[in-house]
Amino acid sequence: MRVDRSDDALDTLFQPFADGVLAWPGEALFLRARDGVGLRQAPRPGLLCEQDFKPAADALERGGLDAIELESLDPQRRFPLVLVLPPRQREEARALFAQAVARCAPGGRVLACMRNDEGARSGEDDLAKLAGKVGSLSKRKCRAFWSAPLQGPADPALVRAWSALDAPRDILGGRFRSRPGVFAWDRIDPASALLAAHLPADLAGRAADLGAGYGYLAAELLARCPRIASLDLYEAQARAVALARHNLDGARVPVESFWHDVTAGLPRRYDVIVSNPPFHAQGREERPDIGRRFIEVAAQSLERGGRFWMVANRHLPYEHALGEHFSEVRTVAQDGGFKVVEARGARGRA
């Protein structure tokens, strides 16, 4: 399958194979895999991809590659090569390095890549602490780094300790359960708190939360709006879905949680939709197009007379999209760099 999209970190990850520095072993595990040019420049037989971000997982599957969740993999299975595209969150990244080393077969290697401005040097140092001496190359403002053939971790105790760094844990005095790598994982996001504080008690009927995270906004919606009859949670990150499901267990209304890319549209219609849309994908670049698509999907998914409540950074240009898809739009509050908006009258509703 032809892939035209380039990804600097992904392309640099595969540079050691293109340069002949490393040889493809015939089987590999790719943690936080992404599809793109670098992955497709040569055959990658025996490649197994792990990805918990739904848009990236969907892209891999469209390209003919299976995307699994790491928890579903046999814990005893080992690979002669483990590839890693570490996340920006340090604890989550260290846990992923530890899992990569633990998954490496005797004589195998761990190979990772990070952007220079997203902690490449620190990532290389972290892998060295777990695996010993590493090699590296730099290109495209990224750094690829890899272990020597391993006969086991250089520091088994550190591997065990780091493997637990992103484990689920209680936060906010036990009110919620969360883990590193989830948006605002150890706190209440101030934008979501502002939206929650302005949700009117008369919201009623079938509701949905788009980009639900670990479930804070959904819990507040149920607490503040007694006429909500059911609630669906949509979230692109699998680990957040599991947490939201746990955090809303025992809610007073039926709650369903979906690992789902909201930008692909929703399968149901609702009376109420709330959202704190993401404005990044998997990098630092702002992506207001994601928020605009959330607005469009909300309009498409509301019943006649349905209401959409959202919060966003004040500088994000969502007004045109709101006016394009709703006949009534009002700014309810502005505080701390955020804006809360209510929209009604979804255009195109019969």
List the domains of the chain with CATH numbers. Answer: 8-163 (3.40.50.150), 169-346 (3.40.50.150)
| In contact, 216 and 223? CB cutoff 8 Å | no
CB atoms within 10 A of CB 253: 13
Q: Which two tokens stand for residue 165?
A: 């760094």
Handedness of CA 303, 54, 234, 343 (dihedral sign): negative
As a whole number of angstroms, the distance between CA 11 and CA 204 comes to 49
Name the pLDDT band for 41 (thresholds 50, 70, 90).
confident
Higher-pLDDT residue of 87, 281: 87
Contacts of 320 (CB under 8 A, 6+ apart): none
Which candidate, 261, 212, 203, places its Cα nearest to that of 232?
Answer: 212
Region 215-228 average pLDDT: 98
Q: Which of 43-47, 77-81, 339-343 has the lowest mean pLDDT?
A: 43-47
pLDDT at 341 over 60: yes
Q: Facing residues of 47 across strands?
A: 28
Alpha-carbon Rg for the chain in angstroms: 22
Per-residue pLDDT at 191: 96
Quick one: pLDDT at residue 189?
A: 96
Mean pLDDT of the chain: 93
**Measuring CA to CA, which residue among 189, 228, 182 is closest to residue 208?**
228
Instruction: Out of 8-22, 58-72, 125-139, 266-280, pick the least confident.
Output: 58-72
Percent of the chain's residues with pLDDT above 90: 85
Q: What is the pLDDT, as a whole number, of residue 69? A: 81
pLDDT surpasses 60 at 5: no
Q: Is the pLDDT of residue 73 over 90?
A: no
CA distances from 348 to 87, 123, 273, 294, 298 (A): 40, 49, 17, 16, 12
Q: What is the mean pLDDT of residues 197-214?
A: 98
- Spatial separation of the C-alpha atoms in residues 233 and 78, rounded to whole Å: 35
